[in-house]
Amino acid sequence: MRVAIPIAAALALGAITARAERPADFEARFAAEARTADPAFAGFSAERGRAFFTNAHGGDWSCASCHRNDPSVVGEHIVTGKRIEPLAPSANAARFTRPASVAKWFQRNCNDVLQRACTAQEKGDVLAWLMTLPAKETR
Amino acid sequence: MNDRILVWDLPLRIFHWVLAASFAGAFLTAESERQRDLHLLLGYTFAGAIAFRLLWGLVGTQHARFSSLRFGPAAIARYLRSLLAGRPERHVGHGPIAVLMIPLLLGLGLVVAGSGWATYAEFGGEWMEEVHEIAAVAMLVAVVAHVLGVIAVSLLQRENLVLPLLSGRKAGAPGSGIRTSRPLVALLLVAALAALWLPGLAARERRLAARGTTAAVAVEVGGERANHGD
């Protein structure tokens, strides 16, 4: 433990001080991953992303269960009722700027909705859709 | 000389197992948003247990008080040597290693609970979440060390140290025990737990039922349609 704590602290510090990125950086990374997974990768589709986001995948939840069908507005946690800030980058500049945060939430939420990890194609499709959403008045 | 004497009062025993159970439960509910409400309830329980322990360390019965933890480095070294030599020193209440373990566990517990609450309240940003996770893992390591230590000392001392945390009783000289188990304080503790958990679980039931009803209504409508088809 004497060794583990400084290492963990250093990792945490690294995550905190990491350069802020833009949504397009994540899209490029997902595209590279998708191409590696499937050489026939033909780009992302906002429409496919919207369908993926709003449909339940055989379970009881979809992404929209908490983030709403229009994630450019404030959402609400389906279990705790807690406010969830908009997911669309146009409505919330903090979204898709920190790799650790993006990785963490895709992992958690994909497990809850799909009972598996999302593929790079799926993440890219969703992000492509989110990036097309215009900003709205948010409370 | 060695009778079964009362050493651990009832509130202390309840505290110990509530802390253990809430810590384990919080770990099991950490990874899914489906159990986020349970994770919060377990976290409040955990924080409340630690707050109680800090208070009980000041005003509790003799062996629960922090003032009973008067062991310096020399006493710890002597105790460890006695264990290794197979002639274990016996302590009625906490042994010298508790001087290290209790502050470590309670201190990490405070960081875990505080950072968890701050994360949920969106206080301090994402690094707060890192603190929460790192402190929780550090505490898990400390808990494993604590459990292994208790097993090792139980074997070396040929004395089951876990059982007294249920019964309150240990072998010891008459007069070195405590007189009362403090049942009223234990009752208050149980009442506080009930006041937290009963409404919490009822709210969870209501939310689950609300979702279940929506599904049931859909099934019913479908059934009616099927009947019309007949």
Mode of pairing for the β-strands spanning A75-76 and A83-84 = antiparallel
Give the number of domains in chain A: 1
Query: pLDDT tens-digit profile of B55-78?
Result: 999 999 999 999 999 999 999 999
Phi, psi of B150 (to 5 degrees): -65, -40
Asked whether the predicted pLDDT for residue B105 surpasses 60, the reply is: yes
Residue B136: closest C-alpha in chain A: A5
- Give pLDDT, residue A3: 56
Does A120 map to a domain? yes
What distance in Å separates the CA atoms of residue B41 and residue B47, rounded to the nearest whole number?
10
- Give pLDDT, residue B217: 43
Instruction: Mark yes or no for CB contact A79/B36 under 8 Å.
Output: yes
Residue A3: closest C-alpha in chain B: B138
How far does the CA of residue B80 sit from the closest CA of chain A (Å)? 20
> What's the burial of A3, exposed, middle or buried (CB within 10 Å: 0-12/13-18/19+)?
exposed
Q: Which of B149, B158, B154, B7 is nearest to B68 (CA)?
A: B7
Confidence of residue B213 (pLDDT cuts 50, 70, 90): very low
What percent of chain B clears pLDDT 90, i.e. is strictly above it?
Answer: 79
* ipTM of model: 0.79
Confidence of residue B125 (pLDDT cuts 50, 70, 90): confident
* 3-state helix/strand/coil string of A48-77: HHHHHHHCCCCCCCCCHHHHCCCCCCCEEC
Q: How far is CA A58 from the centre of its chain?
A: 20
- Give pLDDT, residue A57: 94
For chain B, the average pLDDT equals 90
What distance in Å separates the CA atoms of residue B181 and residue B173, rounded to the nearest whole number?
18
Instruction: Mark yes or no for CB contact B134/A12 under 8 Å.
Output: yes
More confident residue, B137 or A8: B137
Is the Cβ of A2 closer than 8 Å to some Cβ of chain B?
no
Q: Give every residue of chain A whose pLDDT is below 70, as ranges.
A: 1-19, 137-139
Confidence of residue B210 (pLDDT cuts 50, 70, 90): confident
Does A57 map to a domain? yes
What distance in Å separates the CA atoms of residue B206 and residue B209, rounded to the nearest whole number?
5
User: Which of A12, A100, A112 lies at the smallest CB-CB distance from B34?
Assistant: A112
- Give pLDDT, residue A16: 52
The alpha-helical segments, DSSP class H, found in chain A are 4-17, 23-37, 46-54, 64-67, 99-114, 120-132
Residue B142: closest C-alpha in chain A: A1
Does A3 map to a domain? no
What is the tally of helices (H) and strands (E) in chain B?
Answer: 7, 2
Cβ neighbours of B127 in A, within 8 Å: 12, 15-16
What is the arithmetic mean of pLDDT over B218-227? 40
Instruction: Mark yes or no for CB contact A1/B142 under 8 Å.
Output: yes
Is the Cβ of A3 closer than 8 Å to some Cβ of chain B?
no
Supply the CATH classification number for the domain B3-174.
1.20.950.20
What is the arithmetic mean of pLDDT over B133-148? 98
CA torsion through residues B156, B157, B163, B166, sign: negative
Is the Cβ of B122 closer than 8 Å to some Cβ of chain A?
no
Confidence of residue B23 (pLDDT cuts 50, 70, 90): very high
Confidence of residue B218 (pLDDT cuts 50, 70, 90): very low
User: Which of B31, B120, B207 lies at the smallest CB-CB distance from A79?
Assistant: B207
What is the arithmetic mean of pLDDT over B135-161? 95
Q: What is the CATH number of the domain that holds A127?
A: 1.10.760.10
- Give pLDDT, residue B208: 81
Cβ neighbours of A20 in B, within 8 Å: none
For chain A, the average pLDDT equals 89
Residue B31: closest C-alpha in chain A: A108
Domain region containing A109: 20-132
Ranked by mean pLDDT, the top range of A124-138, B161-175, B200-214 is B161-175
In sequence order, the 6+-apart residues with CB closer than 8 A to the CB of A37 are: A119, A120, A121
- Give pLDDT, residue B225: 39
In sequence order, the 6+-apart residues with CB closer than 8 A to the CB of B42 are: B22, B25, B26, B29
> What's the burial of A19, exposed, middle or buried (CB within 10 Å: 0-12/13-18/19+)?
exposed
Q: Select from B29, B31, B32, B33 the residue whose CB has the most chain A CBs within 10 Å, as the one to mutate to test that interface.
A: B33
What distance in Å separates the CA atoms of residue B12 and residue B165, rounded to the nearest whole number?
8
- Give pLDDT, residue A10: 57
Is the Cβ of B206 closer than 8 Å to some Cβ of chain A?
no
Asked whether the predicted pLDDT for residue B40 surpasses 90, the reply is: yes
Cβ neighbours of A1 in B, within 8 Å: 138, 141-142, 145
Cβ neighbours of B137 in A, within 8 Å: 4, 8
Asked whether the predicted pLDDT for residue B42 surpasses 70, the reply is: yes
Report how far apart, in Å, the C-alpha atoms of A3 and of each of A7, A9, B9, B141, B200 are. 7, 10, 37, 12, 39
What distance in Å separates the CA atoms of residue B220 and residue B226, rounded to the nearest whole number?
10
- Give pLDDT, residue B226: 39
